[in-house]
Amino acid sequence: MSKTLKNIVMRRWRGILKFMLSLRFLIVSLSLSGVLFTIGNGYYSTYQLQKNLLIDVSLESNRVYAEKLAHMTESFLENAKSQLGTGAVFVAPMLKRKVIQPAELQSGLDQIRNMSQGFNSVSILDRDGVILSISPKSIGLEGSRLSDSITSNFEDSSAKFIGPITGPTGTYLSFLSHPIFSKTGEYIGDLLGTIYLHENRFLDRLLSQHGYVDGSYVYVVSPQKDLIYHPLKNRIGEKVTNNEVINRVTKGQSGSLEVVNSKGVPMVTGYAYVKESGWGIVAQSPRATVLKELDRQLWLVMKQAIPMQILILTFIVGSAYFIARPLRQLAQSTTNRDRTIKIKAWFYEAYLLKKVIRKEIDFLNDKVSRFDEDRKKDALTGLMNRRAMDELVADLVAQLTPFSVIFFDIDHFKYVNDEFGHEIGDDVLKALTRIVSQKVNDEGVLIRSGGEEFIVILPDKKPQHAIDLAEEIRVLVAQEVIPQIARPITISLGVSNWNHTMEEGDAFKRADLAMYESKNAGRNRVTSRFY
């Protein structure tokens, strides 16, 4: 390289270095870095906040859905048991005749099966476990004897839920049995209702409503951890052991949990236990699907904010050059000591830049703050929600502040929704909030815990005061006519208390039990449970 070319290259590098070390470049670089970091951190914080909120909502939604399905399944099994009991009374005289009429017995069974839409087949067994008759007749198992492993479950005089097992025809099924007694109380056989787990109309109709378009699905496990319902029919009968949700629900637990399914997909899961059969119902959604909408919303927010952010960044760059100009002039003046340059103070311009950045920070912080407030507020009534209550109780417990608690909900609220519709039901909840709020006033905090259920926290209030207040609330509510339904409503209340000698959750458990005691005792009353 020639000396001349080398000098040119060196001059260019010195020029670049001089520019990078100039005040203008440094101010612009630092300002842009700070603003971009602030914006990025704001988006990240907002995303994390909303992500956690969405996952919490999805977990709760799936838990509530699983609980709903469990309740419906429980109701179906109880109804089926009742239908079998009626059927057992119906066929008992037919079995006590000296000569059993097969045609009559078959006709009676057909009537019982048609009455109950949940059974794939219905059969009558004698005392030795021999099938006397079966509906539909096309199954052709009359005269067959069930194995001892099945008939051993019929030894006592109560209805039984049996299974899942592989039946005589190779079908994967469950039984619901009911003993048949004569008028004198003599045990003469059993009436069996059979559910084919691969093709049961009730299970398909009940559990397929969750929909599988977005990857969400519902499955059911037996107490032995066998899949007895799954959208993939080939998986029915499969035993699943390495699954925390299944381990929990087969122990009789209900709740929600983030898990990874058998295919390695992270899932947001809710689960509920069916007491009647010991089944566990699990509703779950892919975690990625839950967060997909959040990604889309965040992108929309970014698109809307980009023009303003570009405008802000442009202003910052221009301000940086303007701020640096007086100091640059001052630096240039030092090369000519005889020259006097009047330089305007630049602190005000620097203040403006700080103000712009602070405005952006405040904007993002305000957004995050609003998000956090929304998480703690019930959208319908404006009251505190359960999340806010948990924080309040945690503070009271941490400070060893004793408190009383009142649980209450609306009596027969389902009938209000059924008769007037859910919009009027919402108006009733708002009216109740107004009535109770004016009574609670500054004494405590009114919280909507969910549905038609409410909680009152009374810090530093003695139990007797809480009982008196609960009674006043009950009377006030029962006296005021709700315009939307043209009649008053009633509520059932439970009262308890907490002090530093108790566990944090004891007060709420006792208040909840007391509320249900009020309901069981006839509703529209106050029940207390204290240590």
DSSP for 123-143, please give it: EEE-TTSBEEEEESGGG--TT
Q: Kindly state the DSSP code that residue 152 receives in the 8-state scheme.
A: G
Q: Which residue has the tokens 């045609």?
A: 103
| Contact of 502 with 510, CB cutoff 8 Å | no
CA proximity to 72, closest of 194, 207, 165, 167: 207
Domains 29-323+339-358 and 386-528 share a fold: no
Instruction: Give dist(CA 141, CA 175) in Å, integer.
Output: 15
CB neighbours (10 Å) of residue 161?
Answer: 19
C-alpha separations of 84 from 29, 106, 164, 171, 373 in Å: 81, 15, 19, 21, 53
DSSP secondary structure letters along 415-440: HHHHHH-HHHHHHHHHHHHHHHHHHH
pTM: 0.48
Give the DSSP per-residue string, 205-267.
HHHGGG--TTS-EEEEE-TTSBEEE-SSGGGTT-B--S-HHHHHHTTT--EEEEEE-TTS-EE
Q: For 29-323+339-358, which CATH superfamily applies?
A: PAS domain (3.30.450.20)
Q: Can you list the residues of the chain whose pLDDT is less than 70?
A: 1-26, 28, 34-35, 39-40, 42-43, 98-99, 117, 148-158, 167-170, 198-213, 293, 297-298, 301-303, 305, 309, 321-374, 531
Give CA–CA dist 198/43, Å, rounded: 48
Q: How many CB atoms lie within 10 A of CB 130?
A: 15
For strand 266-273 and strand 280-286, is the pairing parallel, antiparallel, or unpaired? antiparallel
Are the CB atoms for 179 and 187 separated by under 8 Å?
A: yes
- Spell out the residues 6+ positions from residue 90 whose beta carbon is closer than 8 angstroms to its own: 108, 111, 112
CA distances, 508 to each of 34, 172, 420, 457, 502 (Å): 48, 43, 32, 10, 11
Question: SS3 for 27?
Answer: helix
Identify the active-site residue in 60, 199, 373, 452. Answer: 452
For the chain, what are the domain ranges? 29-323+339-358, 386-528
**Residue 531: what residue type?**
Y
Kindly give the pairing relationship between strand 217-221 and strand 227-229.
antiparallel
**CA gap 136, 123 in Å, rounded:** 9
Neighbours of 435 (CB within 10 A): 19
Distance CA 417, CA 426 (A): 9
Q: Measure Cα distances from 188 to 8, 125, 225, 496 in Å.
A: 113, 9, 34, 52
In CATH terms, the superfamily for domain 386-528 is: Reverse transcriptase/Diguanylate cyclase domain (3.30.70.270)
Question: Residues, the chain, total?
Answer: 531
User: What strand order describes the sheet that includes 491-498?
Assistant: 445-450, 453-459, 403-410, 491-498, 526-528
Residue among 193, 198, 249, 244 at smallest CA distance from 221: 249
- pLDDT for 386: 87
Q: How far is CA 182 from the centre of its chain?
A: 49
CA distances (Å), 108 to each of 90, 134, 191, 208, 468, in order?
8, 10, 12, 32, 59
Q: Which residue type, as a one-letter code, is found at position 187?
A: Y
For this structure, is 360 an active site residue? Answer: no
Query: Residue 493: what are its φ and ψ, rounded to 5°?
Result: -125, 150
Tell me what pLDDT residue 3 has. 59
